[in-house]
Amino acid sequence: MYIEVEHSRDHAGLGIVETEHFTFGFPPDTLLLESGERLGPITIAYETYGSPNRDKSNVVLICHAFSGDAHATGFHRGHHKPGWWNNMIGPGKAFDTNRYFVICSNVLGGCKGSTGSSSINPRTNRPYGLDFPIISIKDMVNAQRHLIDHLGIDVLLSVAGGSMGGMQVLEWMAAYPERILSAVPIATSAGHSPQQIAFGEAGRQAIMADPDWKSGDYYGGPLPLRGLAVARMIGHVTYMSDKSMNEKFGRQVKSGGRADKFSSDFEVEEYLKDRGESFCKRFDANTYLYLTKAMDYFDLAREKPLHEVFRDITAKVLVIAFKSDWLYPAYQCQQIVKACKLAGVDVTYCEIGSSYGHDAFLLESEDETLLVEHFLNRVSYENEIC
C-alpha cells in the first residue's frame, strides 16, 4: 500500500534527493530465484539519506510496502509530493538522518526503477510481460543483500518496514540473522491468511478480466487501466477501517444529483474511483499481479514451526501492530512475537490504538516515532553506535 501526502514545505526534511541505480547479475552470474529460475542482469533503484559513519555501523534499511518505491523521503526535483515515509525519515525524525544512514530500494519485481515485468528483456528487446519469472519475498531480500554488499555494508543496525515491507523484514531475520542487529516489522504477517489471499486474487482477476490486459502483452498499446483501477479500489477498501470510513465519508451524497442509475452517488464511491485512477498513473498492471502473488506465497513457517525459523536470531526485535487493522490483524503480529519469545529472541510488542486501519502504519507517525526512537537508541547504545 501507499499513501500520497502533500506538503507545501518540508520544514525538517532532507530537501531534494535523487534515485540511484545498481546493476548486478550479469550472465553467467545471474541470480538464482526461489522458483529455480535464474534472472539477470538485475537493476535495483535505491535512495540513501544521511551519511554512514566511519565503520558503517549506523545503517538502517527501510523496506517498502506493496505499491511503494525507493523514494521514501524528501523531494524529487520538480515534484511537490514527498517520499512515502517522509513523516518518519529525516533530521530529528524516527529514523534520524543526523544519526543514521538510511537506505530504501525499490523491490525486485517493482516498476519504479528496479527490474520487473515492465522492464526490457535483454533476450527479446521487449518488455518482459509474463515472460518475467515468478518472484518471492525471499528473492526481493536476496536482491537487497546484493545492494548492501555493493555499498560495502557488513551488518545493518536495523531493518524496518510495514505490510509487504514487514514481510521483507521477517525474511531478513530468517535468511540473514547474522547481518542485522535489530528489526522492526510493522503491521505484517509471517504468512497470508486465506482472506488475505482472497483479496489478492480478487484484484488479480479484475486486471486479467480487462480486455486490454491481453495476457500481459499490453505494452505499446492501450493499458488495462480499468482492471487496474478496480484492483486498487478493492485493495484500498482493506486499507481503511469501518470507523475511519464512517468518520471520513459517512453516508454523504455528492451534490448535483444522479447522472444515471448507477453513477457514483456517495462520496466514498467517488473517493475510491479517484484512488483507482490516480494509482494507474504510477503503477504497472503486471507488477500488481507479480507482487500480490509474492505476498500470497510468503510463508515463513512453510517448512518448520516459526519459532524454529527464528532460533538463530540474536537481533533485537520491535513488532508494531494497530488495533483497527483488519487487513493485517494484530493477532498475526502477536504470532510473530510468540514465535520470537519461544526462540529466545529479545522482542518487544506494541499495539497502537489507531482508528485508521492498515493505513495507520503510514499515518500514526507520532506514536511510531516514540517507539522507534527509543528502540533504536537502545540498540545503538548497546552496540556503541554514535
Q: How far apart are CA 111 and CA 248, in angstroms?
A: 31
Considering the candidates 57, 358, 359, 380, report the single residue annotated as catalytic: 358
Active-site choice (96, 139, 284, 325): 325
In a 10 Å sphere around its CB, with 0-12 CB exposed, 13-18 middle and 19+ buried, how is residue 338 labelled?
middle
Query: Cα separation of 288 and 358, whole Å?
Result: 19
- Rounded Cα–Cα distance for residues 313 and 85 (Å): 27
Please give the distance of CA 362 from its chain centroid, rounded to a whole number. Answer: 11
C-alpha to C-alpha distance for 329 and 358, rounded to whole angstroms: 9
Sequence-distant (6+) residues with CB within 8 A of 139 are 31, 33, 34, 108, 109, 294
Contacts of 255 (CB under 8 A, 6+ apart): none
Q: Is 39 exposed, middle or buried (0-12, 13-18, 19+ CB in 10 A)?
A: buried
Q: What are phi and psi of 75, to 5 degrees?
A: -125, 145
Write out the DSSP string of 252-291: -B-TT--SSTTS--BHHHHHHHHHHHHHHTT--HHHHHHH
Which of 163, 189, 241, 380 does the annotation list as catalytic? 163
Query: Helix 194-208 and helix 285-297: axis angle, to 10°?
Result: 160
Cα-Cα-Cα-Cα dihedral sign, residues 260, 266, 269, 275: positive
DSSP secondary structure code for residue 215 in this structure: G
Residues 357, 235: Cα–Cα separation, whole Å: 13
3-state secondary structure of 319: strand
163 is catalytic: yes
- Cα 221 to Cα 8, 38, 135, 187, distances in angstroms: 36, 29, 26, 38
325 is catalytic: yes
Q: Tell me, yes or no, if 358 is annotated catalytic.
A: yes
- The grid coordinates listed for 260 are 444515471
Active site residues: 163, 325, 358
